[in-house]
């Protein structure tokens, strides 16, 4: 079974600075998808960024980018120019693309604080 590990329960960053959230996963599959979700205090789950395992190029969405290291099974999220609105729980998630295995496996989350 696939597992996702987020080893940083809490992180803090100053406004306008850069922070990196860590995620590692375990799988025997060669093709899969990885995601970062943001959960603000409103409780809504918001998709931040996604990565296809067969693509070597790291995904980027505005201030959010990932460092995907397939051999190391690592998928970290970098937030540049942090803003107060970035404060939230961040979940890393793994998904296989095939048939009935279309399930997301989540890590335990990292709570990000943004300070002035």
Partner 1 sequence: NAGVTQTPKFQVLKTGQSMTLQCAQDMNHEYMSWYRQDPGMGLRLIHYSVGAGITDQGEVPNGYNVSRSTTEDFPLRLLSAAPSQTSVYFCASIKGGGLYGYTFGSGTRLTVV
Given the rule CB under 8 A, which residues bind partner 1?
4, 6, 9, 33, 35, 37, 42-45, 47, 50, 52, 91, 97-100, 102-109
Tokens 């980027």, located at residue: 60
Nearer to partner 1, 14 or 104 (CB): 104
Of residues 69, 113, 116, 57, the one with CA closest to residue 90? 113
Closest CB 21 distance from partner 1, rounded Å: 14
Q: Please name every residue paired with 64 in a beta bridge, in sequence order, or none if there are none.
A: 61, 79
CB of 8 to partner 1, least distance (A): 13
CA–CA separation, 86 vs 38, rounded Å? 8
Cβ nearer to partner 1, comparing 22 with 52: 52
């Amino acid at each position: 079974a696939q597992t996702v590990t987020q080893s940083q329960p809490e992180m803090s960053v100053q406004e306008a600075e850069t922070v990196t959230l860590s995620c590692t996963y375990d799988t025997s599959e060669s093709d899969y998808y990885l995601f970062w979700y943001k959960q603000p205090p409103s409780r809504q789950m918001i998709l931040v960024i996604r990565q296809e395992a067969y693509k070597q190029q790291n995904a980027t969405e505005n201030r959010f980018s990932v460092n995907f290291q397939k051999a190391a099974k690592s998928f970290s999220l970098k937030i540049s120019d942090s803003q107060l609105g970035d404060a939230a729980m961040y979940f890393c998630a793994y998904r296989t693309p095939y048939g009935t295995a279309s399930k997301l496996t989540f890590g335990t989350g990292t709570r990000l604080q943004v300070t002035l």
